[in-house]
């Protein structure tokens, strides 16, 4: 997707989510009291950065030369982190799918209203469609909270080092996760500046 398209889609998504919260419906699709909706100055400030031990971005959204030299689309953001680092859920929702394939490796798809956020290259296993890693166990249909520990950084699937591949779909269309991160940072700065005397 061209960067211009992702920016305009990102702006539309920000407007849609703001309207949802203003009408009392959270991004997870569940009713929210009107008083709570009024207190939220910007919905994006509620999102959580998924990796707790951040080492850097290793591959961005869009076309790229893949790890084995071929040109390919990249539908997410690769976030480097030490093996076993905690991964937190970006937004409250429901586990839609547990993935186990040669590309994503062990992964999770979480549904939050019209959003699907995808977490790939996880540490652990997915026997019988259930994700397991030490104390963690997640299965389709299970509710997860914003910021909840959902996985650990691994090297499963097609990867050359430990990192989280974090993908985002809105209404079935891939979205650059950087658009979401920028909206989160901007809304937090706005809230911080509004609290200054």
Tokens of 193: 């500046």
- Supply the range of the domain harboring residue 182: 3-195
Our measurement of the distance from residue 67's CA atom to the centroid of its chain's CA atoms, rounded to an integer in Å, reads 22
Torsion, Cα 47 139 128 156, to 10 degrees, reads 10
Segment holding 181, helix H or strand E: helix 177-195
Q: What is the pLDDT of residue 152?
A: 98
End-to-end CA distance of the chain: 43
Q: What is the pLDDT of residue 41?
A: 53
Gap between the Cα atoms of 50 and 114, Å rounded: 19
Q: What is the pLDDT of residue 5?
A: 45
Give φ, ψ of 80 to 5 degrees. -75, 140
CATH code of the domain containing 132: 2.70.70.10
Q: What is the pLDDT of residue 106?
A: 97
Gap between the Cα atoms of 115 and 176, Å rounded: 12
Q: What is the pLDDT of residue 24?
A: 35
Q: What is the pLDDT of residue 66?
A: 60
**pLDDT average per 10 residues of sequence, the chain (197 residues):** 44 51 38 36 82 82 66 83 96 97 95 96 94 96 97 93 94 90 83 68
The HSE-up count of residue 17 (CA atoms within 13 Å, CB side) is 26
Is residue 120 within 8 Å of residue 105, measured between CB atoms? yes
Q: What is the pLDDT of residue 188?
A: 76
Q: What is the pLDDT of residue 4?
A: 42
How many structural domains compose the chain?
Answer: 1
Using DSSP, state whether 44 is helix, strand or coil.
helix
Alpha-helix residue ranges (DSSP H) falling in 24-172:
34-39
């Amino acid at each position: 997707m061209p960067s211009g398209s992702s920016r305009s889609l990102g702006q539309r998504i920000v407007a849609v989510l703001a309207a949802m919260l203003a009408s009392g419906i959270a991004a997870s699709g569940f009713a929210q009291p009107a008083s709570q909706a009024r207190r939220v100055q910007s919905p994006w400030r509620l999102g959580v950065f998924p990796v707790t031990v951040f080492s850097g971005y290793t591959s961005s959204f869009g076309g790229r030369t893949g790890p084995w030299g071929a040109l390919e689309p990249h539908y997410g953001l690769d976030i480097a982190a030490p093996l076993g680092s905690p991964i937190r859920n970006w937004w409250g929702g429901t586990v839609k799918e547990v993935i186990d394939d040669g590309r994503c490796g062990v992964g999770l798809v979480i549904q939050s209203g019209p959003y699907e956020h995808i977490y790939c290259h996880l540490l652990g296993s997915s026997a019988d469609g259930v994700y397991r890693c030490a104390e963690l166990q997640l299965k389709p249909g299970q509710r997860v909270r914003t910021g909840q520990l959902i996985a650990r950084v691994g090297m499963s699937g097609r990867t050359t080092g430990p990192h989280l591949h974090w993908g985002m779909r809105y209404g079935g269309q891939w979205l650059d996760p950087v658009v979401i991160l920028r909206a989160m940072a901007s809304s937090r700065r706005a809230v911080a500046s509004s609290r200054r005397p």
